[in-house]
Amino acid sequence: MTLPDAPGVRVTPNALLRALNTFAVDATAPWLVEVDDAARLADVLASAPLRGTTPLVLGGGSNVLFVASPDVPVLRLTGRDVRIIDDAAGSALLYADAGMEWHALVMASLDLGLHGLENLALIPGTVGAAPIQNIGAYGVEVREHIEAVHVFECATGDALRLSTGECDFGYRDSLFKRVPGRYIVTGVEFRLSRNDAAPVLGYAGLVEELASAGVKAPRARDVANAVIAIRRRKLPDPAVLGNAGSFFKNPIVPTDIADALACMHPALPQFHAGDGLRKLPAAWLIDSLGFKGLREGDAGIAPSHALVLVNHGEATGRQLFDVAMRVARTVRDRYGVVLEPEPRLIGATWDIV
């Protein structure tokens, strides 16, 4: 059976993907299939052109680098339903479809009087990508507020509701990221508070931003506004300068390695990351080697932030990848620390050890 181009399902052959990835690199998919209602996934995946394939699931394109064009069809879920499904004393359970823009969800939650996601304002991408990456910013990780993730299990065709524990979240990691192709995230449930009297303010720069705005007793929306202001000041707008936000993860190393680095580099900041572990700021490592503002043709590192790989216009995915590899190899050779990318790489393997 061939999938018809019907209401709620759009099928495009030889689809150009430049407008669907925030790096704005040229790539082409053999097919692009967009589906509004996840309930149709079983029929969609059983029909040509997706039948017998493992499609690349693409959300907002903000966590992917097309080093080469995909050789499989691309699937996008485009539903944007948001609703409260349980309202208890002091909290509520908010459901959002995978295709909902993440920042729009954060702002919608605030409009509903719900709090918890404000520190994650202005992160690019979709709701469906949030649990895959376990997105985090300004002292908060999304797993802290996820009650369940709705998925389609490709092998069985079953629609499942996975609890937070079943998602096996880690730092910028999850079951979905470690076993790509097993599940398609179709929606997420968030347990959010109706009490915003104690926002998370421990991240560096947040209190100062609020103070500069004259906010003495910050509420959730004040925190969101402060985060938005900081992100707009520090991070380039993908609509102006192609990027996927922070390209490199902050490396987590054993305490003995961190202590040795502290002896050799006293200015290197370190943060507790669990028993026997420390987190090192990748931005400091990269900036210390003079890479911030690097430009090779149209590929480079943002002048405003050392973690952000940027496309100044017509860089290819391969050129961006080569810059990222050069940075990571230099950090490894200088500090003995291996950097890993946050975005998913299509058409390349990160082989730095």
Residue 84 has pLDDT above 80, yes or no: yes
The catalytic position among 109, 141, 143, 172 is 172
Domains in the chain: ranges and CATH: 9-77 (3.30.43.10), 82-233 (3.30.465.10), 237-346 (3.90.78.10)
The residue whose two tokens read 């810059």 is 323
Angle between helix 102-111 and 220-234 (nearest 10): 150
Cα–Cα distance, 288 to 309 (Å, whole number): 16
* DSSP string of 233-269, one letter each residue: HHS--TTTSEEEEE-BPPPEEEHHHHHHHHHH-TT--
Annotated catalytic residue 340: no
What percentage of the chain carries pLDDT values higher than 90?
A: 92
Q: Rg (Cα) of the chain, in Å, rounded?
A: 21
* pLDDT tens digits, 89-121: 899 999 999 999 999 999 999 999 999 999 999
Task: Report if pTM > 0.95.
Answer: no
3-state percent helix, strand, coil for the chain, nearest multiple of 5:
30, 30, 45
Tell me the mean pLDDT in the region 153-171: 96
Report, as an integer, the average pLDDT of 251-279. Answer: 95
Determine contact, residues 63/102, Cβ cutoff 8 Å. Answer: no
Predicted local distance difference test score (pLDDT) of residue 204: 79
342 is catalytic: yes
Dist. CA 327–CA 340, nearest whole Å: 11
pLDDT in tens, 308-327: 999 999 999 999 999 999 99
CA distance 169 to 130: 11
